[in-house]
Structure 1
Amino acid sequence: MTEVTKRLVETTDGLELAVYEQGPSDAPTVVLVHGYPDNHSVWDGVAKVLAERFHVVAYDVRGTGESGVPDSTAGYRLAQLSADFKAVIDAVSPDAPVHVAAHDWGSIQTWESVTDPALGSRIATYVSISGPDLGMATTWLRERTHLGSTLRQLAHSWYVFAFQLPLLPEAMVRSGLLARFVGGGSRPTKDQVNGVELYRANFLGKLLRPEPRPTKVPVLVIAPRGDDYVTVPLQTEAPRAYASSLVTQVIEGGHWVVATEPELVAGEIVAFIEKEDR
């Protein structure tokens, strides 16, 4: 069994992130970024497979697991989350670009880094699962050529608007209602409550000013066919105008496919890395 080590990495605003590493330290680095309402452990199955040949890094994003908690909603803005990602890769792979795979909100926040010209050279490949870039997604939703797909996605995203309200989401978490509607029943209540701030800090701004950015980083979008929250058309079509090297792959599975089908997901990640390394 691969040994997992833990270190703490300080962020630009003074919080500490819990970072977990396994696999050969001299191998290429793969960074795994989790979403809401998870912590790094959602990647355990995938990490175990990848660690046979890669230096695998997963971390608790701010507000979850063993990482620090911001004292305001502003602490969850995408720019800060991208700064957190940079702090992690600076610590674990200062001299070489990293491969990245991200899920749900982890994917949303990592698009911010992938499309940042200052960070593009630090990322060798990017695998996005169930988490589109908010600017790309908003622009796609505004297009009039696929009204049916847009309406289906909005129906899937009802909770995003509920999360903008004061007190209600926190009450839903503590009562167990949120777990019934959007999953997360086994996740710590603290992580579920803190994570609501991700939605409050970022969604309204992106709805008003999408401002999607391009990227030259090779991108693989893995779209689970049975995802209850992010439709296949949104995942696969929204980035087409912005990712110059884009591959899309529709797979069987639900939203938490990273936990339920770790070997499948790990295989897709490895195949994409190998393809881009040729």
Structure 2
Amino acid sequence: MTTSFVTTTDGLRLAVHEFGRPDAPTIVAVHGFPDSHHVWDGIAAELGDRFRVIAYDVRGAGESDKPRGRKAYHQDQLTADLLAVLDAVSPSEPVHLLAHDWGSMQSWDAVSTPDLAPRFASFTSISGPSLAYASRWLRGRGHLGASVRQVLTSTYMAVFQLPVLPELAARAGVIRRGAEKVGGYDPHRGLAETSNGVNIYRANVLRQLFSDEPRRTLVPTLVLVPREDAFSSPPVASNAPVGWVDDLTVREVDGGHWVVVRDPATIAAEVAAFVEAHLPVAGKRKARR
């Protein structure tokens, strides 16, 4: 693994970690909260013999800079951060985007922006539905049961809107223990809990839930749905993007919210198959060498 740093449009430094083969097709992985790039370690190890895997620490996490206040975590800035990474690691070729949890929720903005869509050859979303798509689907008819279940599992998002309390909970280890008990996180993997990350929710959740008409995406998209996910309701994850993604594949997998850590081999196999199906001929030769 090699580590470099990218400067964002507002002057912060993001830590960018590279695994695998430098000459192979590029996968860029975006982690969620409360993780760091280490959530991808197992998957990067599985994919490294066929692909170049880039995993960066999002602002507020890992080795990247940690600004305070919600304004620094607004969706527009998160998208700009992703583009800064793309400009550094693959300025002229589209990448295959892989994202989990809030990393996925924030990535929907980039893949559904018409001017940015050509930067992505494919998108794999795990446990992180678009809030705009989810909001529209949950408000539809016949979804009462799924709506109630998702509201109950998303209570923590409402709590994160409160001042001070979430930061105190993070420092006291409450978020870590909840992730282990409810979400199935492996405590031995070193959860990268940080109080800064709650500002992602403060800056974006309400704004995106009540946004204007969601944008469609032309980027080929694979949605992996863990059957036992305690935070992202499988019916919502499976159905919310339908009608908004022109080239959509939905696959259920066994496991909970952190299946990316618990079963990296299964997730890596799904990702590799989808990426290889969306490579140009030259890229397919590189991936199989």
Q: If the length of structure 2 is used for normalisation, what is the TM-score? A: 0.91
Q: Which runs of 5+ in 1 are unaligned?
A: none
Q: Deviations 1:24-74 (Å, cap 9, x if unpaired)?
A: 211110011100000000100000111101111000000001101223211
Letter in 2 for 1:129: I
Letter in 1 for 2:122: T
Paired residue for 1:26, among 11, 23, 32? Answer: 23
SS of the counterpart of 2:278? helix
Q: Which runs of 5+ in 2 are unaligned?
A: 281-289
Letter in 2 for 1:266: A
Letter in 1 for 2:115: A
Q: Tell me the distance in 2 between the aligned counterparts of 1:176 and 1:26.
A: 41
- Contact kept? 1:138, 1:210, Cα under 8 Å: no
State the number of aligned residues.
273
- Contact kept? 2:36, 2:192, Cα under 8 Å: no
Partner of residue 40, structure 1: 37
Paired residue for 1:238, among 227, 237, 240? Answer: 240
Q: Tell me the distance in 2 between the aligned counterparts of 1:71 and 1:169.
A: 14
Q: Tell me the distance in 1 between the aligned counterparts of 2:85 and 2:145.
A: 40
Partner of residue 142, structure 1: 139
Deviation at 1:210, TM superposition (A): 4.7
Whether 1:187 and 2:184 are equivalent positions in the alignment is no
Partner of residue 215, structure 2: 213
- Contact kept? 1:139, 1:210, Cα under 8 Å: no
Q: Tell me the distance in 2 between the aligned counterparts of 1:71 and 1:118.
A: 30
Q: Tell me the distance in 2 between the aligned counterparts of 1:201 and 1:72.
A: 9
Partner of residue 269, structure 1: 271
Q: Give the root-mean-square deviation of aligned CA atoms.
A: 1.3
- Contact kept? 1:134, 1:210, Cα under 8 Å: no
Deviation at 1:181, TM superposition (A): 2.4
Q: Tell me the distance in 2 between the aligned counterparts of 1:179 and 1:245.
A: 36
SS of the counterpart of 2:50? coil
Partner of residue 259, structure 2: 257
Paired residue for 1:176, among 165, 173, 177? Answer: 173
Q: State the identity as a percent.
A: 49
SS of the counterpart of 2:99? strand
Q: Tell me the distance in 1 between the aligned counterparts of 2:259 and 2:165.
A: 28
- Contact kept? 2:121, 2:279, Cα under 8 Å: no
Q: Deviations 1:127-154 (Å, cap 9, x if unpaired)?
A: 0000011111111121122111111111
Q: Tell me the distance in 2 between the aligned counterparts of 1:272 and 1:180.
A: 34
Q: If the length of structure 1 is used for normalisation, what is the TM-score? A: 0.95
Whether 1:56 and 2:60 are equivalent positions in the alignment is no
SS of the counterpart of 2:270? helix
Q: Tell me the distance in 1 between the aligned counterparts of 2:179 and 2:269.
A: 27
